[in-house]
Amino acid sequence: MATDYSNLIDGEMVTNDKWMDVVNPANEEVIGRVPACGKDELDRAVAAARRAFKTWSKTPIDERRAVIQQVAGVIKENADELYRLLTSEQGKPHQQAQQEIIGASMMASAQSTLSLDDEINEDSDTRLSRTRRVPVGVVGGIVPWNFPVMMAMQKIAPAMLSGCTIVLKPSPFTPLATLRIAELIKDVVPAGVVNIITGEDSLGPMITEHEDIDKITFTGSTATGKKIMEGASKDLKRITLELGGNDASIVMPDADVEKVAEQLFWSSFSNAGQICIAAKRVYIHEDIYDDLSAAIAEYAKGVTVGDGSQQGTGVGPIQNKKQYERVLELIQDAKDNGYQFLLGGDADPSGTGYFVPLTILDNPPEDARIVAEEQFGPVMPLMKFSSEEEVISRANNSEYGLAGAVWSKDVDKGVEIAEQLETGTVWVNEFLHLSPFAPFGGHKQSGFGAEYGKEGLTEFTYPQVITVKRDAVI
Ligand code: NAD
């Protein structure tokens, strides 16, 4: 039976008379209804955030820190309920949903330990000049459907720590766990500091263009990111954009085939490939190409695609119908062009649930759509390379620049290659690791600004320089 969920505005759980359905992607059943908000509800949420900003921005940072830690604690305490709800709306297997919920709690808690200390620019006989960080004001947060809880907390925690207040909009596809968290934290967070409202995509531009919002922090597609930059330009709102990626993984000839096969598999197929930083292009040195591609395909055969709530499922469905159809279209394009498949390529769109069989392509050309575009699905193109220079140039031949990985027993060589990749993050011999203390952001069309770390936190602030003339004659 579908459950009704409420929004959090000014410390109260509220609904309106318009609703949107939320569907379980594993069986296409409606599992919940959430309010479909428009400008009126947004205005109320922004007004509440503005009122709360007066007090919250003056609340000592240690007190703000303590509230974030309480929020993180509430999420952790309710992890069992939340991860099941997350699986039912997002599709990811229980274990991965649990990792997201616990991870969101841990990342928020860790981020709350960051500080915004003043910096001294000049301390001389004649002058004391220091830079302090002041919160920008009311933040609009806009979140996608692949990691709904992690992305929400990634925005809420630093906004709160900086002294900002926030109006957050989850994706219309995955608002349920976030709204349940809203209900759980409403008595922990002062009224108006965090507001969570749901609506169709059309609510997004209203947030971007709202005259009383000072900053937008957005995670989603590059296409939407560009619209946000345009909308925010009208009153020069501050923006942070975390956008798409087409990350390359480079496997050097000295890599251990068996060990790397499993890790490469999960770097592409975790969350059914719906990760901005998933390995979406895998370049394998020709000396080990045949062995490694066979080992990856063999490993994949042991992984079950299915309903994420069922024990033993390794890869769940695609989260929504539109994305499902897009992934099928890319696979069909690969078939039409005669590219070779090591596995998969035979989805059945007539079945129930948005399931795509694990699909591995055998050395498709660089300009194949399935290589050149962000697939965002359980699809892994393996490509052969012969020289370092060639693979670096192929990896960098993308409008995206989010992340990448190098796999080699020779760590110095791995780092040497990593430093030549045009991306915001590069892993050597690991994948998908993000630190709350390191800036995460895309180069090129993968983003603007950063989240996490000191850099991420300062994006919620303006610098203010206070200069005192010490030898003034007045
Ligand atoms: P999307 O851009 O379609 O939607 C993201 C959010 O923006 C949703 O809440 C949506 O309702 C809202 N939105 C839609 N149109 C809008 C508009 N015109 N103005 C303002 N908001 C609008 O993205 P998606 O399909 O939900 O997510 C998938 C994309 O997100 C992929 O490209 C993926 O790579 C990217 N992503 C990036 C990161 C990162 O950190 N770089 C993380 C996760 C996902």
- Whole-number pLDDT of residue 250: 98
Residues 221 and 263 both lie in one domain = no
Q: Is the residue at 391 inside a domain?
A: yes
Residues 421 and 305 both lie in one domain = yes
Q: What is the pTM of this model?
A: 0.97
- Domains contained in the chain, number: 2
With a cut of 80, say whether residue 1 has pLDDT above it: no
Q: Is the residue at 59 inside a domain?
A: yes
Mean pLDDT of the chain: 97
Q: pLDDT tens-digit profile of 377-394?
A: 999 999 999 999 999 999
With a cut of 90, say whether residue 143 has pLDDT above it: yes
Residues near ligand 1 (Cβ within 6 A): 142-146, 169, 171-172, 201, 204-205, 208, 219-221, 224, 227-228, 242-245, 276, 374, 376, 402, 442, 447
Per-residue pLDDT band for 375 (boundaries 50, 70, 90) equals: very high
- Whole-number pLDDT of residue 474: 83
Q: Is the residue at 70 inside a domain?
A: yes
- Give which of 40, 50, 46, 35 is closest to 167, Cα–Cα: 46
Q: Is the residue at 233 inside a domain?
A: yes
With a cut of 90, say whether residue 64 has pLDDT above it: yes
CATH code for position 40: 3.40.605.10
- Whole-number pLDDT of residue 2: 87
- Rg from Cα positions in the chain: 23
Residues 321 and 255 both lie in one domain = yes
Per-residue pLDDT band for 349 (boundaries 50, 70, 90) equals: confident
Q: pLDDT tens-digit profile of 208-246?
A: 999 999 999 999 999 999 999 999 999 999 999 999 999
With a cut of 80, say whether residue 12 has pLDDT above it: yes
Which ligand 1 atom is at minimum distance from the Cα of 199? 11
Residues 216 and 350 both lie in one domain = no
Residues 272 and 158 both lie in one domain = no
Residues 108 and 127 both lie in one domain = yes
- Whole-number pLDDT of residue 473: 86
Which ligand 1 atom is at minimum distance from the Cα of 231? 19
For residue 46, the CA-to-ligand 1 centroid distance in Å is: 21
Q: Is the residue at 15 inside a domain?
A: yes
Q: Is the residue at 470 inside a domain?
A: no
Tell me the catalytic residues.
242
Q: In whole angstroms, what is the distance from residue 114 CA to residue 456 CA?
A: 10
Residues 235 and 284 both lie in one domain = no
Residues 201 and 79 both lie in one domain = yes
For residue 451, the CA-to-ligand 1 centroid distance in Å is: 15
Q: Is the residue at 37 inside a domain?
A: yes
Residues 253 and 333 both lie in one domain = yes
Torsion of CA 416, 422, 427, 432, to 10 degrees: -170
CATH code for position 376: 3.40.309.10
Q: Is the residue at 86 inside a domain?
A: yes
Residues 318 and 382 both lie in one domain = yes
Q: In whole angstroms, what is the distance from residue 381 CA to residue 217 CA?
A: 32
- Whole-number pLDDT of residue 198: 98
With a cut of 90, say whether residue 58 has pLDDT above it: yes
Residues 205 and 112 both lie in one domain = yes
Q: Kindly provide the b/e burial profile for residues 261-270, where b requires at least 16 CB atoms within 10 angstroms of the residue's own CB.
A: bebbbbbbbb
Per-residue pLDDT band for 397 (boundaries 50, 70, 90) equals: very high
Residues 274 and 420 both lie in one domain = yes
Containing domain of residue 370, as a range?
247-428
Percent of the chain with pLDDT over 90: 97
